[in-house]
Amino acid sequence: VSRRNAAFLPKMLQARRAAIDLLGRLQPKVVVSVGGYASMPAVFAASKLDIPVVVVSYDLRPGKASRLAARRAAASAVAFPDSPLPRATITGAPVRRAVLDIDRRRDRAAARHRLGLPADRFVIAVMGGSQGSGLLNDVTWSIVRERSGDASIAIRHAVGERFIDRAPAPPERGLLYQPIGYEPEMSLVYAAADVLVGRGGASTVHEVAATGIPAILVPWVDAAEDHQTQNVRWLSDAGGAIHLPESSVDELPRLLSGLQSDHERRELLSARARELGEVHRDGALPALIESVAGR
């Protein structure tokens, strides 16, 4: 580890010099950092050039890069109360407008039509992130096999491009199964599905809250500092999602069957999630960035 760190330092210094040159030419009024060590050269350069920095952190536990950048920042835009970052303002997360504009009741029929999903089935969306999740794939494929003759459900499953060749062939009759490598139409999925099964990354958690989709979230146990579990617990502790640890993922079929037959519970999950998602709809994040830029 120490050798890798030693080799990394010259690259960081080179990137800092390049960032100073770039920002010197662009002369921005503000630099926005969304975390990750790739953002640090620009943060260091902005500090050197007296350009204010806004740190945007929408994990419940900010990463190390965000914590380091926030020491130099004029403001920290956060999605959760009680943030450990200095000069924190609760702004919600930068949720895409296409997602914020979703009305699940209004848009459901049109979204299902565009995705090729039946209007009259219980639709389960399984989204394992941009790379896919072997764990979620395996349990989903088990459900496909066990319920292959069940014509009451449909499953849209983003398996990840690296796993797509392993996806089972859809049953000829009964269950409707749509395996895809990558999901390009997430806004349609949020409108079309009755239940979302996903991971616990910040984007997923905040989009669940913004749309109010009933969700079963399985945080990735190897995420840095276990931040996905904390993200999910923010929702689940308030009744806005079901937290399913990886160690209990075999419970997924039972949980899905329960939600299929319990419309009231789905409605309660949806309502509570949307209450928590209100913070994403008031435009506080761009307002904060503009206020810092105007100082």
Q: What is the pLDDT of residue 83?
A: 86
Q: How many CA atoms lie within 13 A of 236 on its CB side?
A: 17
**pTM for the structure as a whole:** 0.87
Taking 70 as the pLDDT cut, the residues of the chain under it are 1-8
Query: What pLDDT does residue 4 have?
Result: 59
Q: How far apart are CA 176 and CA 144, in angstroms?
A: 9
Among 227, 226, 117, smallest CA distance to 170 is for 117
| CB proximity list for 292: less than 8 A, separation 6 or greater | 30, 52, 54, 74, 75
The answer to whether 77 and 290 have CB atoms below 8 angstroms apart is: no
Question: Cα(136)–Cα(140) distance, rounded to whole angstroms?
Answer: 6
pLDDT at 1: 46
Q: Which residues of 202-223 are buried (b: 16+ CB within 10 A; e: fewer)?
A: bbbbbbbbbbbbbbbbbbbeeb
Sign of the C-alpha dihedral computed for residues 277, 280, 217 and 215 taken in this order? positive
List all residues 6 or more positions away from 226 whose beta carbon is below 8 Å from its beta carbon: 61, 219
What is the full DSSP assignment across 182-205? S-S-HHHHHHH-SEEEE---HHHH
**What per-residue confidence (pLDDT) applies to 131?**
87
| Cβ–Cβ < 8 Å for 184, 208 | no
d(CA 67, CA 45): 17
Query: Which pair of structure tokens corresponds to residue 249?
Result: 């993922």
- Per-residue confidence (pLDDT) for residue 282, from 0 to 100: 78
| Beta carbons within 10 angstroms of residue 63's beta carbon | 16
pLDDT at 150: 97
Which neighbouring-strand residues pair with 76?
55, 88
C-alpha distance from residue 125 to each of 14, 70, 277, 286 (Å): 44, 36, 20, 31
